[in-house]
Amino acid sequence: MTERVVVVTGASSGIGAALAERAAAAGHAVMLVARTEERLREVAARCGPRAFVHVADVTSRPEVRRAVAAGVAHFGRIDVWVNNVGRGITRPPSQLTDEDIDLMMRVNVLSALYGMQEVLPHFRARGGGQVINVSSMLARVPYAVHRAAYSGAKHFLNALTANFRDELAAEHPGITVSLVSPGLVYTEFGTNAHHGGPPSRSFPQGQDAEQVADVILRVMETRATDVYTRPESHDRVVAYFEGIGQGP
């Protein structure tokens, strides 16, 4: 794979940290973005000398704009921007508050929207680039009642990704907008969820963050636009929608 400059948001842990390490091992330069400098530097140390740390809260548009400028200034270009920041919630839909919805949208949707919009002028000027948005199987099959607001936010992200891709297709064919949908991943997602929650590792049939990172690396290589991280996920989604179509 040709060397790329890869920006990973939410790179201080979980999928983001695993992706940064895997990308660096594959010969790419990586920019690690998150709010916690100490944890970012720990990941960067594992990535090697081509890792660049930038502390930012990507739910703030001005901070995302500064992150884009910092990446371009440091490396001279950005090739791939990975919107990986996300957070879950543990609350049934009948009990959701305005604050719950605002948080889910800010973290899971606005962070990605800012990333797409702020890196776009750079990609347009270069005539190419790739955005990869990390979504969730819950955006296809909302089977976890207590994650309702998270599922809704990720549904929004999926639609936004598809429409952003369609908008750019005619005038900017060199810019790829990809979506990656993991299922259960063994990270701190469960315990870090808004209102708490059980550890993700307490559930069976999950994936390690490194497995998801490997899928994202393949998406960088193939420029595929819509990818699940498990082979059985597609059939599960089809079965879900076929069931809805049958009615009561």
Q: Is 240 a catalytic residue?
A: no
SS3 of residue 222 by DSSP = helix
- Of 150, 186, 228, 240, the active-site residue reads 150
DSSP 127-143: T-EEEEEE--GGGT---
Tokens of 44: 């960067």
Residue 20 has, within 13 A of its CA and on its CB side, a CA count of 32
Helix axes 61-75, 111-126, angle to 10 degrees: 40
What phi and psi, each to the nearest 5 degrees, are found at residue 133?
A: -100, 130
Please provide the size of the chain in residues.
Answer: 248
Three-class SS state of 89: strand
Q: Which residues are catalytic?
A: 150
